[in-house]
Amino acid sequence: MKHQRGDFSRNSRILLLSAIAMVIGFIAAFVAKALLMLIALFTNLFYYGEFSLVSKAPSMEHWGILFIFVPVVGGLIIGLMARFGSEKIRGHGIPEALEAILFGKSIMQPKVAILKPFSSAISIGSGGPFGAEGPIIMTGGAVGSLLAQFFHLTSAERKCLLVAGAAAGMSAVFATPIAAVFLAVELLLFEWKPRSLIPVAIASSCAALVRVHLLGAGPIFTLEHHGVFSDLALIAAAGLGVATGVFSAGLSKTLYMLEDMFAKLPIHWMWWPALGGLIVGIGGYFQPRALGVGYDVIGDLLNGQIPPSNLLILFAVKGLIWIVALASGTSGGVLAPLLIFGCALGSLLGPVLPGDLPTGVWALIGMGAIMGGMMRSPFTAIIFCLELTKDSDVLLPLLIASIASYAITVWIMRRSILTEKVARRGYDIFREYNVDPLEVVSVAEVMTKPVQTIPAAYPVERIVADYFTGNKKYRGYPVVDQAGNLVGMITASDVLGYKLQDKANAVDTAEDIANENMITIQPHQSCREAAEKMAALGIGRLPVVSKSESGKILGIVTRSDLLKSHLNHHELEQKRECFFKLGKT
């Protein structure tokens, strides 16, 4: 018989999902543009007293010493929005998207799609040291979820469209469509299937297409000219990755330690962002460039335009105000600040690293390393840096540094800075991908054969003694006619129901009480399909029938049989063997 299964599962529903994803991609691009315009608007309102959409950096010229209290006002507004609007606007944005995907059936409320970008724009516009990517990922995800809710879709299909919106949002903000797809795979989808990968890629591509007309084509940043990476430089890249991984672990631990401290304050959490805003204002007073998104800072770091002495102060102030503000529960993204921290580490360590490379190159490598380690998404980090700068010569050192950082954080951190947030809300996340053993094993490989059957003409009175006494193995049997064709199933409950009725004078046979509305499975189908049928119907066994000869029973598969598919997987993971030995045996 020709094998029926392929490399991937296929479903015509992918056409519908792809069409919807295309619309989501176009919408997400305009949402990203609107968010950036809102940030510019609120920056001008808070710091310049102007109603303008021209992008400017925060400045103290208009307010003087009162400059310190601008972030306090922004934090107060966000606290009120969270208290009386939706608490889901607090935080990074990505953990909230993860929570909706894994534990909320990918359903987001309409008010979140409105309040999240406004609260983030207020936070960043009032000086908050955050990026726009977290808010746009959550807002784009909300757009995808809301659009999906207009159609009769499964929870898995809604997840696909939510993630498509999130990826499209990131693609539109950073002009990184490929990295956005990688982020979806490494962080949000929790699967690798065509039914999700294709729509996500379509949404990201459409958003990148529209972005060209709304925000420009990119690259967003340029990199200093550099030569070839020597062997010593590649080793140094690994060292930078290790240092970045250690820094990432310390930063994450400090963040959640401060969050616990805020939780112990004797005031309502609504006031916490205002307190965090006070620290932001004080830090910004001494180092104004630490405020806001900081894309201009990243650009200067990649071109080596910030002296080490100034950079050290900027790095310290940015880190302090960011970690305090984020711990206070305000609204804003983590990616842009992490990129600054990675660039700063690379720039500070670059002069002492071998290889005779410009400082900006080490800044880029540090940026990729901190993203790979802190977010546990190394391939996203590599492609992200490549798309940001269009410099393919740094791919190898980026790979080395980001994987080194990833390895360190996986070893010393239980969770990433994103998943820790979700875990603190009572949800544990396991991010490893592997193929389900039930998926790769067919029913034919585990089914019991030859199967013990009950003849259709068998008297019911004899069935109990012959098939359902205490020493019998099964609780259900197929009923077959003289030709061996399946006509029904009899279980212990069927026999019990018969005995409870007044059948003293009846001469019933097995065929009379057999359940004809049975569910069957074919030998080429996977054990996963069998398990899903059993779980959905609450049954413990399925007759296995031939596809070519309708009704011909080939075997029976039970819940116990399905466990056989895990035996080989267990041996592969646990059984240790040595095939070559040194010395005498």
Is the pLDDT at 274 greater than 50, yes or no?
A: yes
Fold match flag (13-214 vs 231-423): yes
Distance CA 405, CA 415 (A): 14
Query: According to CATH, what is the number of the domain 231-423?
Result: 1.10.3080.10
Residue of 2 and 160 predicted with greater confidence: 160
Looking at the DSSP bridge assignments, the partners of residue 552 are 485
Is the pLDDT at 427 greater than 80, yes or no?
A: no
Distance CA 271, CA 3 (A): 63
Distance CA 481, CA 455 (A): 6
Which of 523, 485, 123 lies closest to 326, judged by CA?
123
Is the pLDDT at 65 greater than 90, yes or no?
A: no
Count other Cβ atoms within 10 Å, centred on residue 64.
9
Confidence of residue 421 (pLDDT cuts 50, 70, 90): confident
Looking at the DSSP bridge assignments, the partners of residue 131 are 333
Q: What confidence tens digit (pLDDT) does each residue in 390-404 have?
A: 888 889 999 999 999
Which of 131, 391, 346, 124 lies closest to 241, judged by CA?
346
Q: Are 106 and 162 in contact (CB under 8 A)?
A: yes
Low-confidence winner among 1-5, 45-49, 138-142 (lowest mean pLDDT): 1-5
Confidence of residue 266 (pLDDT cuts 50, 70, 90): very high
Which of 276, 281, 337, 287 lies closest to 312, judged by CA?
287
Distance CA 411, CA 183 (A): 21
Q: What confidence tens digit (pLDDT) does each residue in 82-127 have?
A: 888 888 778 776 777 777 777 777 777 788 778 888 888 898 889 8
Question: Residue 3: is it exposed, middle or buried by C-beta count within 10 angstroms (0-12/13-18/19+)?
Answer: exposed
Is the pLDDT at 45 greater than 60, yes or no?
A: yes
**Hunting for tokens 């994103």 — which residue is that?**
418
Is the pLDDT at 238 greater than 90, yes or no?
A: yes
Confidence of residue 368 (pLDDT cuts 50, 70, 90): very high
- Top-ranked range on mean pLDDT: pick from 143-157, 270-284, 286-300, 434-448: 270-284
**Hunting for tokens 């997400």 — which residue is that?**
28
| Residue-wise DSSP of 357-389 | --HHHHHHHHHHHHHHHHSS-HHHHHHHHHHHH
* 132 to 268, 317, 482: CA distances (angstroms): 27, 20, 72
Q: Where are the alpha helices (DSSP H) in 375-509?
A: 378-389, 395-412, 419-423, 437-440, 443-446, 460-467, 492-500
Mean pLDDT of 136-162: 86
Confidence of residue 497 (pLDDT cuts 50, 70, 90): low
3-state secondary structure of 478: strand
| Residue-wise DSSP of 72-117 | HHHHHHHHHHHHHT-GGGSB-SHHHHHHHHHHSTT---HHHHHHHH
Mean pLDDT of 449-458: 84
Distance CA 5, CA 19 (A): 26
Q: Are 102 and 163 in contact (CB under 8 A)?
A: no
Q: Are 122 and 42 in contact (CB under 8 A)?
A: yes
Which of 105, 110, 112, 106 lies closest to 87, judged by CA?
112
Residue 499: the pLDDT is 59
Q: Which CATH number fits domain 437-569: 3.10.580.10, 3.30.70.360, 3.40.50.300, 3.40.50.2020?
A: 3.10.580.10
In single-letter form, the type of residue at position 230 comes to: S
Is the pLDDT at 375 greater than 50, yes or no?
A: yes
Which of 556, 525, 523, 526 lies closest to 541, judged by CA?
556
| Residue-wise DSSP of 251-318 | HHHHHHHHHHHHHTSSS-GGGHHHHHHHHHHHHHHH-GGGSS--HHHHHHHHTT-S-HHHHHHHHHHH
3-state secondary structure of 544: strand
Percent of the chain with pLDDT over 90: 28
Residue 1: the pLDDT is 44
Q: Are 480 and 486 in contact (CB under 8 A)?
A: yes
Can you state the percent helix, strand and coil of the chain, rounding each to 5?
60, 5, 30
Is the pLDDT at 13 greater than 60, yes or no?
A: yes
What are the residue boundaries of the structural domains of the chain, listed by start? 13-214, 231-423, 437-569
Confidence of residue 504 (pLDDT cuts 50, 70, 90): very low
Q: Which helix (H) or strand (E) holds 143?
A: helix 133-148
Q: Are 362 and 311 in contact (CB under 8 A)?
A: no
DSSP code at position 230: P
Distance CA 319, CA 337 (A): 8
Q: What confidence tens digit (pLDDT) does each residue in 197-214 have?
A: 999 999 999 999 999 988
Q: What confidence tens digit (pLDDT) does each residue in 289-298 have?
A: 899 888 888 8
What's the length of the chain?
Answer: 585
Residue of 265 and 93 predicted with greater confidence: 265
Residue 471: the pLDDT is 67
Q: Are 231 and 207 in contact (CB under 8 A)?
A: no
Is the pLDDT at 472 greater than 70, yes or no?
A: no
Q: How far is CA 59 from its chain centroid? A: 37
Distance CA 112, CA 118 (A): 10
Q: Are 184 and 171 in contact (CB under 8 A)?
A: no
Is the pLDDT at 513 greater than 90, yes or no?
A: no
Backbone CA torsion sign across 75, 78, 80, 82: negative
Cross-sheet strand order for the sheet of 476-480: 454-455, 476-480, 486-491
Average pLDDT over the chain reads: 85
Q: Are 511 and 431 in contact (CB under 8 A)?
A: no
Is the pLDDT at 505 greater than 60, yes or no?
A: no
Homologous superfamily of domain range 13-214:
Clc chloride channel (1.10.3080.10)
Residue 506: the pLDDT is 54
Q: Are 274 and 72 in contact (CB under 8 A)?
A: yes
Which of 517, 531, 539 lies closest to 446, judged by CA?
531
Residue of 30 and 549 predicted with greater confidence: 30
Number of H helices, E strands in the chain: 25, 5
Is the pLDDT at 582 greater than 70, yes or no?
A: no
Q: What confidence tens digit (pLDDT) does each residue in 301-328 have?
A: 888 888 888 899 999 999 999 999 988 9
Mean pLDDT of 252-272: 91
Mean pLDDT of 62-85: 89
